[in-house]
Amino acid sequence: QVQLVESGGGLVQPGGSLRLSCTSSGLQLEQYAIAWFRQVPGKAREPVACSSSYEGGIYYSDPVKGRFTILRDNRNNTVSLQMNTLASEDTAVYYCGRDFSRRFCVYNWHIGNMFDSWGQGTQVTVSS
């Protein structure tokens, strides 16, 4: 199965910014809804944001609303997650996944069971 590839993580101070990228060599991401989730050890994967392809909707979970922005660059086959005003609670491994059957984010996208092709993730650590 083709996987997505996440990158851009790192160590950042509280209040700082990072931009994560999600790309694939085998999938045209513009054909799918793409979501970002995050996970800390011992906890369930948590929804972050979902981007529909073309003119569909974009959705954010409450903890990141107003701070994170999901962006598409179809020319470079990339879906990015711009993260601003980072806090220690944002520390996690971030993953991107594609909805295997839809171009648009469904109302229950946050459950996550419609996404696959998860990559290895990229670690984000927010610490002073």
**4-44, pLDDT tens digit by residue?**
999 999 999 999 999 999 999 999 999 999 999 999 999 99
pLDDT score, position 124: 98
Best CA proximity match to 126, nearest among 92, 78, 77, 99: 92
- Is the model's pLDDT at 55 over the cut of 80? no
Is residue 86 exposed (0-12), middle (13-18) or buried (19+ Cβ within 10 Å)?
buried
- Is the model's pLDDT at 1 over the cut of 80? no
Contact 86, 98 (CB under 8 A): no
Q: What's the pLDDT tens digit per position in 72-122?
A: 999 999 999 999 999 999 999 999 999 998 899 988 999 989 999 999 999
- Is the model's pLDDT at 56 over the cut of 90? no
